[in-house]
Amino acid sequence: MAGMKSNLDEYNRDDWPEISEHYAGIVGKMPLYSTTEQARERQWEYQRRTASASTVAAFTLSLAERNYSYRIMGLYLALEARAQKRVEQGVTSVNEQIALCEDSYSELVNLYLQKLAYLPLPESPANEVAQP
């Protein structure tokens, strides 16, 4: 690379010698990193971006699952409120109330309630002490 620069126009040059008006310089271009370091840096950048994308994907999936659960709970609460009102007015029997008893969700609801209540594990028969 080569270039020329003249920023002397802003000064009074009457008493300066002719040689000071121009200069030439040679500039070399040298990479800051070797190719190995550049490849390593690209690999690190790829790993950082992949990890970030995975984290964002997991977070987005969690939000979607949470929103889906909110919608299901909203539907169940609306159905339960409707059923309670119908039972209260004598239109139908108590069997219409659902209370999240659908077979596909009952196991999940039971696990949630057990975690919520912090129930102790049942004792096995071998650990039980015979009482006189």
| 41-62 confidence digits (pLDDT tens) | 899 999 999 999 999 999 999 9
Three-state SS for 25?
strand
Query: Is 0.75 topped by the overall pTM?
Result: no
Q: Please report the pLDDT score of residue 60 as a whole number.
A: 94
Q: 14 lies in a domain?
A: no
Judge whether residue 122 has pLDDT over 70: yes
Where is 105: in which H helix or E strand? helix 103-117
Q: Which domain holds residue 79?
A: 25-117
Residue 99 lies in a domain: yes
Tell me what pLDDT residue 62 has.
Answer: 92
Residue 4 lies in a domain: no
Please give the Cα distance from 116 to 111 (Å, whole number): 9
Classified as helix, coil or strand, 78 is helix
Residue 42 lies in a domain: yes
Is 51 contained in some domain? yes
CA torsion 44-49-50-56 (nearest 10°) is 150
Alpha carbon 74 to its chain's center: 25
Q: Does a structural domain hold residue 47? A: yes
Please provide the size of the chain in residues: 132
Q: Does any domain span residue 124? A: no
Give the pLDDT confidence of 71-121 residue by residue, as tens digits. Answer: 988 888 888 888 888 888 888 777 766 665 667 777 887 788 777 777 677
- Residue 9 within any structural domain of the chain: no
Number of domains in the chain: 1
